[in-house]
Amino acid sequence: MATEWKAEHFKGAHLNVGIIGCGYVGLPLGLRFAEAGHRVIGFDVDKSKVEMLNRGDSYIQHIPAAKIRQYTASKHFSASSEFSRLGEMDAVIICVPTPLDERREPDLSYVRATAEAIAPHMQRGQLIVLESTTYPGTTEELVLPILERSGMKCPITHGPDAENIPTDFFLAFSPEREDPGNKQYGLAQIPKVVGGTNPPSGRAAAALYAQVVSRVVPVSSTRAAEMAKLLENIFRCVNIALVNELKQLGLRMGIDIWEVIDAAATKPFGFMPFYPGPGLGGHCIPVDPYYLSWKAREYDFSTRFIELAGEINTAMPYHVVDSIAEALNSRRKSLNGSRILVLGVAYKKDVDDLRESPSLKIMELLTARGAEVDYNDPYFPQLHKMRHYDYSQKRSKPLDTKTLASFDCVVIATDHTSYDYAAIVESSNLIVDTRNATRRLLRHRERIVLC
């Protein structure tokens, strides 16, 4: 049973840390706390994940099973579906999904369900942190009232007068900045923004995270922390839309936009390169900005940059399909009846994640226009039924000479590093390259269409 702690308690060693949601965000975070010597339980409603973790197996490509085994063996990490064990935790960190629903509105059902699962087991002095990306106000308006059903209070106050305000438990928001597959910046090197419901909550969360990351950046409130994450993702979304639009203009004007971006990126200040592609993918960038535009409506405010960027980025898979049709047409072929091979279904290179991947949309649009569509992806030997698509019959095609030659068109949708682009171009009849992955190839340029 927990006792009542001060914020400084979270500077201590050997804390019990509960991570709710052992996915792309929660699992690496849990392992990082285990590495720092804390005792971590990863909670998940998915029993198969819990079993795999307790066996020391990994289900995320870039997290080696050996790392999980190391910490399960040392008893620093285990997984559980028993939410009653939340009562044993000093700190509980929520890393559950925050998708959009069918009407493209925030779906906070996972966050709500998690808060409801925590409330009956709350202890005085516990620290609860939400990490899931969401609109400003979620921690205070949704999570806090559910946790306070426990009978304990965590007042919303800010400023110097509230430095030592009494609080029964601590509540904070700290956005995850995980970039799966990024070899340069791991969790420990990425500064962590932290905002508390009140100053003691902010200090408690800052003390906890200071143990596992190189730098903690305190902000004045949970809302500021929630908004900081959205600003980061909207910045990416808007800039990607900008280069996607300029790419289309470049194609019309006969200017290679990738060459232009690389040239502009030599400016040592005031410019940051973003690269065009077949559309936005991943769990964050295509989804998160709409959390803010939805919330903005409550304030009679229209977020025009978000809407415009969304419009441009959403149109990109359609642009790719039109380019494929045009490329086939110039070879006296119609899209209807053509055999098309899509290379890469992951949403970005070298990851085993296909959430919101534009490749899936491109495959759907091609099929709707009468093409026979197959795919190759070294990270996905087969596909399955998803929320929007049913590709359960599809298997990754081999990339041998005979198979490549049997397709009318090969589309480079995701530029995995492991692809041998020279060999692919050598054997293919026609290549539509959405990523400029073939930029260094000199032979058979006439077969390559950039789009």
Ligand X SMILES: NC(=O)c1ccc[n+]([C@@H]2O[C@H](COP(=O)([O-])OP(=O)(O)OC[C@H]3O[C@@H](n4cnc5c(N)ncnc54)[C@H](O)[C@@H]3O)[C@@H](O)[C@H]2O)c1
Which are the catalytic amino acids?
Answer: 284
Cβ(411)–Cβ(432) below 8 Å: yes
Contact call for residue 347 and ligand X (CB under 6 A): no
Complex with ligand X: residue 132 or 436, whichever CB lies closer: 132
Name the burial class of residue 111, with classes exposed (0-12), middle (13-18) and buried (19+) by CB atoms within 10 angstroms of its CB.
Answer: buried
Bridge partners, 43 (sequence order):
20, 80
- Which CA distances in Å does 356 have to 197, 379, 415? 33, 16, 16
| Distance in angstroms (rounded) separating the CA atoms of residues 91 and 385 | 36
> Binding segment for ligand X among 23-31, 151-159, 358-366, 389-397 (CB under 6 A)?
23-31
DSSP helix/strand/coil, 114? helix
CA 305 to chain centre: 21
The per-residue DSSP string of 212-241 comes to: TSS-EEEES-HHHHHHHHHHHHHHHHHHHH
Residues 125-154, buried b or exposed e (16+ Cβ, 10 A)?
A: bbbbbbbbbbbbebbbebbbebbbebebeb
Token pair for 88: 């044993």
Select the residue whose beta carbon is closest to ligand X and give its number.
Answer: 23
Token pair for 318: 């359609």
Minimum CB distance to ligand X, residue 95 (Å): 5
Using the Cα atoms of residue 276, residue 281, residue 285 and residue 286 in order, give the sign of their dihedral: positive
> Binding segment for ligand X among 131-139, 192-200, 255-263, 310-318 (CB under 6 A)?
131-139
| Distance in angstroms (rounded) separating the CA atoms of residues 84 and 106 | 28
Spell out, one character per residue from 32 to 71, where the chain touches ligand X: x when CB under 6 A holds, - when not.
Answer: -----------xxxx--x----------------------
Minimum CB distance to ligand X, residue 310 (Å): 17
Out of 5, 10, 24, 169, the residue judged to bind ligand X by CB under 6 A? 24
Contact call for residue 20 and ligand X (CB under 6 A): yes
Spell out, one character per residue from 87 to 116, where the chain touches ligand X: x when CB under 6 A holds, - when not.
Answer: --------xxxx-----------x--xx--
Minimum CB distance to ligand X, residue 201 (Å): 20
Spell out, one character per residue from 371 to 390, where the chain touches ligand X: x when CB under 6 A holds, - when not.
Answer: --------------------
Out of 22, 212, 280, 309, the residue judged to bind ligand X by CB under 6 A? 22
In sequence order, what are the residues at sequence separation of 6 or more whose Cβ sits closer than 8 angstroms to the Cβ of residue 226?
134, 135, 136, 137, 138, 139, 173, 175, 195
Contact call for residue 21 and ligand X (CB under 6 A): yes
Minimum CB distance to ligand X, residue 65 (Å): 17
Residue whose C-alpha is closest to residue 29's, from 66, 73, 71: 71
| Distance in angstroms (rounded) separating the CA atoms of residues 441 and 451 | 16
Residue whose C-alpha is closest to residue 317's, from 368, 351, 352, 283: 368
Spell out, one character per residue from 175 to 204, where the chain touches ligand X: x when CB under 6 A holds, - when not.
Answer: -x-x-x------------------------
Minimum CB distance to ligand X, residue 420 (Å): 28
Minimum CB distance to ligand X, residue 273 (Å): 21
Minimum CB distance to ligand X, residue 305 (Å): 20
What H or E segment, with its residue span, contains residue 91?
strand 91-94
> Binding segment for ligand X among 61-69, 130-138, 144-152, 191-199 (CB under 6 A)?
130-138
Out of 16, 126, 132, 359, the residue judged to bind ligand X by CB under 6 A? 132
Complex with ligand X: residue 309 or 432, whichever CB lies closer: 309
The per-residue DSSP string of 311-359 comes to: HHHHHHHHHHHHHHHHHHHTTT--STT-EEEEE--SSSTT-S--TT-HH
Minimum CB distance to ligand X, residue 236 (Å): 12
> Binding segment for ligand X among 8-16, 126-134, 205-213, 271-279 (CB under 6 A)?
126-134
Site for ligand X in 225-284 (CB under 6 A): 283-284
Spell out, one character per residue from 142 to 181, where the chain touches ligand X: x when CB under 6 A holds, - when not.
Answer: ----------------------------------x-x-x-
With CB under 6 A, what is the number of residues at the site for ligand X?
27
Phi, psi of 218 (to 5 degrees): -75, 140
Q: List residues binding ligand X (CB under 6 A).
A: 20-26, 43-46, 49, 95-98, 110, 113-114, 131-133, 176, 178, 180, 283-284
